[in-house]
Structure 1
């Protein structure tokens, strides 16, 4: 009979380091650290810098002069700022049309029909082209001499319309140009959301007699809330920071009627109109606060819904 050697129960275990003890909690933050640092340096820090700069009068080269809230007081009586603010409101209200338009196009493209891949490619195309190209295409489209719009109007005996030359129509013409790619973006969001719709809920609703608008309103749209939230946030940000199309299509004209806050900020801070960096920063702060107000409202609404479940 052989006796097995005794196994020691008091082996020495070397102490574990701090990282080994907290590895599960620390490792995700190590991966997030580069992104957080970039976000702090390129987003958060410039925001606070803009707040600070808005309290100074500075041309970008000489010594900055502290003026307190005078830049904001001047904004209150600036007619060009008022026009820009109203134009931003028009952009905001009309740009939201991209969300229902994108939803209905996505519902159409989600069907199984002949040639659906071709249709998806055609509707997706505006999203991948540059805003500069979109601006040039619509500038030619609106041209009163050879543009397609006035050619079509001529077929019905209507006279040529200089959309971009009319102060009352120019802003709406630019918004229509912006809606083209923005609708495509919302369509992509909703196509992704439709892939996540629960087919069991749809089938149960069919058995209960729901179809058409009732099916869409009570079954499909509630399941698309995450996509709708992203569509709202991105569309609102896109409407408030609109710059490219205005610069390409009208350069703020005619007579400054198509200016928005971002374009007016550029004119005041960086163009030949004075290099007023502090005044431009004050406009940027107002624009940032408007964006923050809308985004905070949507975040609060979404948080309240999630909490109520």
Structure 2
């Protein structure tokens, strides 16, 4: 039986915040790398490299990945959802900013919150928790409100990137629900992640060939660094931690913490690029913290 906890402890909270920080930086890395590599090849090769790393890790830890445990059907489902999600993210980054994309993606907690009661009644949110979730997202939207109001004459198809971001959020939420609803809920985090990476690598690379994207022949040190960060740090390490957490902690409470990712992106911009932290951002951070407390108290 899976050792499932009813509440988030200090280890879970610390791990989640670390993941959110990495995911916020990951969106920036995706956008930056698009100047040197096409979106589907970037996503597909990232998944392929991360899948190899998961396989090596599992071999070293003697964790079976290919035993028959009835998880194949669920694995193919979540792998396909994972591939579609990242196809939307990488393609959408061509039309909208990383900051806008990350806001749309993190609508996924609402998908999880709405769907989890049909899978596990114990994860139904109370009225107070639902209010906390709305407050947390409202704080994030407030932080980005100025950017959404700014005219974008240089991005005439921004609506398309935003729409793809919204679709990615639905797919990410659907992936989390599918993991909990299938036999993957008792599978190892390594096997769950391997399914998603391996299946998505095949589908995304096939999509790159089918759409005629040019094979990336030239790799600068900059591209190698951005790609390596996405594949090793984000797709391998942080996703492994995330799927372990999904297996052991309530998915709705985990999902609420992911709303901190967009604000981590803003903080990273301040630390790495010298961008100013406004009073609006400080107020949004306070609202986000209060919302998360209401959901997890």
> TM-score category by the smaller chain?
under 0.3
With the length of structure 2 as denominator, give the TM-score of the two structures: 0.27
Q: More relative contact order in 1 or in 2 (CA 8 Å, sep 6+)?
A: 2
Q: Which has the larger radius of gyration?
A: 1
**TM-score in terms of structure 1 length:** 0.27
